Amino acid sequence: MSSKTAASLLLPLEVDSLCFRVERDDLLKDISVTVDSAGITGILGPNGAGKSLFLRLLHGLLEPASGEIRWHHRRLDKTIRRRQALVFQKPVLMRRSVAANIDFVLNSSTRSRQRRDEVLQQAGLYRQRSQPARLLSGGEQQRLALARALATEPEVLLLDEPCASIDSATTLQIENLLQETSARGVKIILVTHDIGQARRLSDDVIFMHDGRLLEYQSATTFFDSPSSPQASAYLEGRIVI
């Protein structure tokens, strides 16, 4: 199965009048968008814009209050989620060795030492394979979380600020890994508030502000001439309220 075709199998992503609220707080308001392009989609916006929530809804970890999410014209369900993987901002690693963390997500039919070692080598963690995962440095932990996500061979990879609290060398490693992954045809949706990272990686950009989706543009258009005043303010480094 070629990954390239696999990714396109889950596209397009259609979001239709999506709302999410906690108690009476509307945290996401009437979001509609259609993403049909392969490559890397960056979700950008200031803190509290609702980016992480939106990502969780796309993955089906949260239920929308109203509206609908469809991947390849099908409503989001477990079978679709199984074809995706999400990397959290703070990696949740199990209290086991590095290798055992990978083994856990390889399902019993595909589990093989070879596959695991491959993934670890890709992430530059092969040498540490028998170390306790929770003794790794912050950057290594995030690489392991990413490696574990990739081990499941997702067609769509969702990432929530994967480089929020790690050093620049690791950030570079992760960005390279993401580009390789994207090149293999895996659709990537990346939440970040690092404008530089979004510039380096994104093919297209979703800009969110205060629970609303304000823009969906190709990266070039967005960074050169954002259409909303909030986005221009954000890109200029002004505080956006």
Partner 1 sequence: MQDFSDAFGLAFSLIIGGDPDLIEIIGLSLRVSITAVVISALVGFPLGALTAVVRFPGRQTIAVILNASMGLPPVVVGLLVYMALSRAGPFGWMNLLYTPAAMIIAQSILVTPIIAALSRQVVEDMHHEYDEQFRSFCIPTHRVIGALIWDSRYSLLTVALAGFGRAIAEVGAVIIVGGNIDHLTRVMTTAIALETSKGNLALALALGFILLILALSVNAAVYGLRASARRLSYA
Instruction: Name the residues that contact partner 1, by CB under 8 A.
Output: 56, 59, 61, 78, 81-82, 85-86, 88, 92, 94-96, 104-105, 132-135, 152
Contacts of 235 (CB under 8 A, 6+ apart): 195, 223, 226
State the number of CA atoms in the 13 A half-sphere of 40 facing the CB.
24
Strand residue runs (E) in the chain? 13-22, 25-35, 40-44, 66-71, 74-75, 84-87, 156-160, 187-192, 204-209, 212-218
Q: What is the dihedral of CA 181, 100, 108, 56, to 10 degrees?
A: -50
CB of 140 to partner 1, least distance (A): 13
Q: Are strands 66-71 and 13-22 parallel, antiparallel or unpaired?
A: antiparallel
**Considering beta carbons, is residue 81 or 115 the nearer one to partner 1?**
81
**Considering beta carbons, is residue 152 or 179 the nearer one to partner 1?**
152
* DSSP structure class, residue 145: H
CB of 133 to partner 1, least distance (A): 8
**Considering beta carbons, is residue 61 or 183 the nearer one to partner 1?**
61
For 17, left (φ over 0), alpha (ψ -120 to 50), or beta?
left
**Considering beta carbons, is residue 141 or 182 the nearer one to partner 1?**
141
CB of 105 to partner 1, least distance (A): 5
**Quick check: 43 and 59 in contact, CB under 8 A?**
no
CB of 106 to partner 1, least distance (A): 11
CB of 180 to partner 1, least distance (A): 22
**Considering beta carbons, is residue 79 or 168 the nearer one to partner 1?**
79
CB of 120 to partner 1, least distance (A): 18
Alpha helix stretches (DSSP H) within 106-187: 113-122, 138-151, 168-183
CB of 79 to partner 1, least distance (A): 9
Task: Lay out the sheet containing 84-87: strands in order across.
Answer: 84-87, 156-160, 187-192, 40-44, 204-209, 212-218
**Considering beta carbons, is residue 144 or 214 the nearer one to partner 1?**
144
**Considering beta carbons, is residue 75 or 238 the nearer one to partner 1?**
75
* DSSP structure class, residue 135: G
